[in-house]
Amino acid sequence: MSGVDAATSVQLLGEIGFDAPRILLERYGLELLEVADGEMIPGSYWGECEAGVIGSRVYARADTPVHSLLHEACHLIVIPPARRDLVHTDASDSQIEEDSTCCLQIVLADALPGVGRARQMADMDAWGYSFRLGSARAWFERDAEDARAWLAERGLPNA
**Domain count within the chain:** 1
For the sheet containing 31-34, what is the strand order?
31-34, 57-60, 52-54
Question: Looking at the domain assignment, is residue 83 inside a domain?
Answer: yes
Q: Is the pLDDT of residue 6 over 50?
A: no
Mean pLDDT for the stretch of residues 120-124: 97
**Three-state SS annotation for 118-146:** HHHHHHHHHHCCCCCCCCHHHHHHHCCHH
Q: How far apart are CA 17 and CA 111, in angstroms?
A: 14
Question: Looking at the domain assignment, is residue 1 inside a domain?
Answer: no
Mean pLDDT for the stretch of residues 120-142: 94
Question: Looking at the domain assignment, is residue 103 inside a domain?
Answer: yes
Helix (H, G, I), strand (E, B) or coil at 61: coil
What residue type is 102 in one-letter code?
Answer: C
- Count of all residues that appear for the chain in the document: 159
Question: Looking at the domain assignment, is residue 159 inside a domain?
Answer: no
Question: Looking at the domain assignment, is residue 30 inside a domain?
Answer: yes
Residues 51-86 have pLDDT tens digits of: 999 999 999 999 999 999 999 999 999 998 889 999
Q: Structural domain of residue 79, as residue ranges? A: 6-153
Per-residue CA distances from 58 to 26, 92, 136, 145 (Å): 11, 15, 23, 27
Q: How far apart are CA 15 and CA 153, in angstroms?
A: 34
Indicate the pTM of the whole model: 0.92
Lowest mean pLDDT among 13-17, 27-31, 84-88, 106-110: 84-88
Share of the chain above pLDDT 70, in %: 95
pLDDT at position 150 is: 97
Question: Looking at the domain assignment, is residue 47 inside a domain?
Answer: yes
Residues 19-61 have pLDDT tens digits of: 999 999 999 999 999 999 999 999 999 889 999 999 999 999 9
Q: How far apart are CA 44 and CA 54, in angstroms?
A: 9
What residue type is 73 in one-letter code?
Answer: A
Helix (H, G, I), strand (E, B) or coil at 53: strand
Mean pLDDT for the stretch of residues 100-118: 98
- The per-residue pLDDT of the chain, averaged, comes to 93
